[in-house]
Structure 1
């Protein structure tokens, strides 16, 4: 009779830190029927997660996370666990390294199989042979067997010998009904402003008339960080709060038009198609570009142009300026709030709401930690989205309680609407160059623009796509485009002749290896190079070709660089000002 086998030596206990701890995941259904939750770790995201979730302050350790080589020096193994309502649910975890030459195809994929029982599985880096192209830690994927199911995931890095990690930070559950929480929400109100248009929308809702709330912005408005993205995002939660508080019946509609990585430079071109689609006439429009506009070439002219465009619509919608915040406590509210001050608009600051209390200790009145508010360095968690919605609802409640005839209206002898009309006649706070911008593509044509598409005769269907409104289905952005697909290298140029004051080129960025750059010439003079690899991920990029005081005839030629004629380039559209 054989006795029991001798136990294996226990594995050495290693220090570790979390990059995800009990974070929601949601298997969004893909075109091929699979269900995937993506978490991007490039562009500083992994380092930020180590700081916020893992409490890592050692600069040397943080620098090691910048590259695959450093990652291998620091990390011994990766522990992954997922908990779902079905403990037997099978799924796969992949940590994909990006390649230097082939971004998505050149790097190593670290894998393990999981079940939804919450048990941790380990990935040992020593089990892998790394590729020559391995460059940076890229993205995490949870591939789930059942679409549209929610789970909670944790990922931690066990460290190699010679490295230590700090103690875990204990977090208390957030009480959203507490006095401290309510006080925190009250700090969000930067400016109550002229409340007339919001009051009018509230009165319509109470009277049973149809009211539409619209939200336009970047990835936070799209719902990034919310799980699931369609019903846990701040926009949907805000709409639900407004409806439950003010609606007479089911008479409030919801329009969400957030697109990741896009500034107001693109938002002003998307507004008509994405917000006013199907004849929508929103009563309230929330504008959220405070963390997307750093790269805006006009430093706020596009933002103010969009605000003015909305305010001057025939049905007089209200505009709310929402200033979200990144995990490094940064946003652009100082640059953009003068626009709200000039037109006396309601303004809500998430930065003012949460940043101050992040530095507090639990016994000093801290409501929540930075890790609890943020999903990653750019986007709020479900709780963070709830806080943003509560801040907007606090504004609506304050508007509802505000005086229906303000003192300054009596003093000026104007109605509140008259005061706004007067403010719109003043010198803009930043600029209004693009207030009347229009979109031009294969669908929305301008007869006076003469186009020779040349070799740009294909249509690109591999586009940035987003979840609009309360839907999970993806809607492609700028599907009526012109693509050079490398089939006509002898005619790799697109020409447009147009009389206008300003022209904006919208082109597709991409991290794929089969796309190339194009040169943009105006009247024979080189103005810019449009390079899809500068941002290096698939999204829409807007660049101002020219912006002049007076309209003039111009010939714009967009030609694929000679060395890239065997690659693709996509013109998504143009914005023009007559």
Structure 2
């Protein structure tokens, strides 16, 4: 009888650092039926993960993470572990490199099969041969066989000879009932403001009448980093509102977050996404403080959206929410003057969490960056809980102040009058787009003349998001005009779209994409070239709003969108337009 085979010599211990440490993952069903949890590592995300989860400060090592070539020099192997309730759960881990020419198809995929038992499996980079198209580390995928599976994942990079890594960051469990936590949350109250409209909504809720809370913003409002979808700050703060103020189950929830998009797009889609089906929200939370860096108007679009909401006939309340990136940055210095002018309630997550991040455990730190953030742009479950608690703190303070006032009714009438007077003042940044409307195949402006030319198809491969409390995906701007030169050669003769109308301002919303079969389009106004719309600048599938013109007076214009001559065998999608008469 043979004895057991002698084990291999143990692999010598290598220095390592985490890029994911005990992060929540969730197997969500994609449009093609696959079950995947995505983690994007491009655009500095991998570097930030190394800094936050791995405590890496070495600039050389961080720089090597920018490219596949550098990644291969630094990393010897990748250790991956996943823990799920069912230890036999089958999961595949893929670290996809993006290509130079073919973004999603040209790079190497590093793969390993896992089970949900928490055991670490390794990928050895020496087992792979890089492709000529390899460019940058792109994204991580956890591919499940079963939908709706939650798990905890850790990924660490073991380093090649000559590189070192610091010790792990010490973390203690976040105590969300501690005095220190409550003190941290209290620092988020940037301005309680003129709270009459919020008090009115609270009183309406307590009276048993239906009240609607709406949230509009970017990917954080969409729920990025939160797993499961009910862990996102919007849903959690809606639940907290309902538990605290509702006499019965009479609070409705609208969530309209779209990843990677600023208020420049938000003001166009507000009617479609928030006021859909005749909804009249009582409170609207606006969250664009980390999305508006690319806003061409540097705040005009944001203030236009705020005024648009405040001036709705049923007079909803507005809360300005300033979220934060992992580098302790947001745009509250640019955008908070809007809230100050109209004396709006404002909540700053940055003011709450960033000052304590630099502290050690024994110095009063409540939560680490690794615990708060899922990646450099998005909070994890704990971070979303903090954001919800910040909103609840504001509402509690408003409620307490309202009860303490003996002349609340008279004061409320005065407060509403003051707000109306402030809305009659000159805007602090601008209100050029306060009355903007959406134009697409569904919402056609009767006085607009459209010649769709070769844009006679409808694109169905669109940025899609989870609306409200739904897990299913809703496509953004489905009533679009698509030019498809890949299938219909006749379209190449009519490779244009023309819109003629009288208006003061006009914005184009087009689809960005990283696909190789997507081309550029040139935009002309009254025969004069204005700019080229290039889907590959952002290089991922999402909605991109750009200003064609913004004038002081309304005039008749002819806008022509023409496919670049070298790209007429490709695709381009006009998602819609925003216009101001």
Same structural fold, with TM-score higher than 0.5 when normalized by the shorter chain = yes
Is 1:516 paired with 2:519? yes
Residue 7 of structure 1 and its aligned partner are, at CA, apart by 3.0
In structure 2, the CA distance between the partners of 1:527 and 1:407, relative to structure 1 (3 Å rule), is farther
Query: Across the two proteins, how many residue pairs are aligned to each other?
Result: 577
Matches within 5 A, 1:485-500: 485-486=484-485, 487=488, 488-500=491-503
Question: What is aligned with 1:547?
Answer: 550
**Aligned position for 1:219:** 219
The residue aligned with 2:183 is 183
What does residue 370 of structure 1 align with? 369
- The answer to whether the Cα contact below 8 Å between 1:290 and 1:325 also exists between their aligned partners in 2 is yes
* Structure 1 Cα separation of the partners of residues 210 and 492 of structure 2: 53
> 2:110 is matched with which residue?
110
Match of 2:63 in 1: 63
Who is 2:134 aligned against? Answer: 134
1:48 matched residue in structure 2? 48
The DSSP-based 3-state class of the residue aligned with 1:546 is strand
> 1:62 offset after TM fit, Å?
0.5
Alpha-carbon deviation of 1:343?
0.4
Name 1:527's counterpart in structure 2. 530
The answer to whether structure 1 residue 329 and structure 2 residue 328 are counterparts is: yes
Please report how far the alpha carbon of residue 130 of structure 1 lies from its aligned counterpart in structure 2 after TM superposition: 1.2
SS in 1 for 2:12: coil
- Correspondences of 1:277-288 after superposition (within 5 Å): 277-288=276-287
- 1:220-369 alignment to 2 at 5 Å? 220-228=220-228, 230-369=229-368
Separation (CA, whole Å) in 2 of partners of 1:267 and 1:180: 36
Unaligned 5+ runs, structure 1:
none
2:438 alignment counterpart: 439
- Match of 1:479, SS state, is coil
Cα 1:397–1:150 change in 2 (3 A) is: same
Q: Do the aligned partners of 2:79 and 2:157 also contact (CA within 8 Å) in 1?
A: yes
Question: Is this contact kept in 2: 1:196–1:404, CA < 8 A?
Answer: no
TM-score under structure 1 length normalisation: 0.98
Contact 2:35–2:147 (8 Å) recurs in 1:
yes
How high is the TM-score relative to the length of structure 2? Answer: 0.98
Following TM superposition, by how much is the alpha carbon of 1:8 offset from its aligned partner in structure 2, in angstroms? 1.7
Structure 2: distance between partners of 1:82 and 1:343: 49
User: Retained in 1: the 8 A contact 2:323–2:348?
Assistant: yes
Per-residue CA distance 1:351-380 (angstroms, 9 max, x = gap) = 000000001111111101111100000000
Instruction: Report the Cα offset of residue 407 of structure 1.
Output: 12
Q: 1:475 maps to which residue?
A: 474
> Does the residue aligned with 1:379 lie in a helix, a strand or coil?
coil
CA contact (8 A) 1:19 1:156 kept: yes
Specify whether residues 152 and 3 from structure 1 end up closer, same or farther in structure 2 by C-alpha distance, changes over 3 A only.
Answer: closer
- Partner of 2:398 in structure 1? 399
CA apart distance, 1:414? 6.7
The secondary structure found in structure 2 opposite 1:576 is: strand
> Offset at 1:411?
12
Is the contact made by 1:409 and 1:416 (CA closer than 8 Å) also made in structure 2?
Answer: no
**1:402 deviation in Å?**
1.4
Deviations 1:448-475 (A, max 9, x none): 1100000000000000000000000000
Instruction: Quickly say closer, same or farther: Cα 1:531–1:160, change in 2 above 3 A.
Output: same
Shift of 1:403: 3.9
Taking the aligned partners of 2:271 and 2:125, their CA distance within structure 1 comes to 50
Give the Cα–Cα distance (whole angstroms) in 2 for the partners of residues 120 and 412 of structure 1.
Answer: 62
Q: CA deviation at 1:145?
A: 1.3
TM-superposed deviation, 1:10: 1.1
> Cα offset for 1:401?
1.1
1:308 partner SS: helix
Q: Distance in 1 between matches of 2:397 and 2:381?
A: 24
Q: Distance in 2 between matches of 1:302 and 1:126?
A: 50
- The correspondence for 1:504, drawn from 500, 504, 507, is 507
Name the structure 2 match of 1:84.
84
What CA distance in whole angstroms lies between the structure 1 residues aligned with 2:159 and 2:210? 57
Tell me how far apart the structure 2 counterparts of residues 507 and 458 of structure 1 sit (CA, whole Å): 14
* 1:538 pairs with 2:538: no
1:49-88 deviation line (CA, Å, top 9, x unaligned): 0000000000000010000000000000000000000000
How far the C-alpha of 1:129 sits from its partner, in A, is 1.4
Q: CA-atom RMSD, angstroms?
A: 1.6
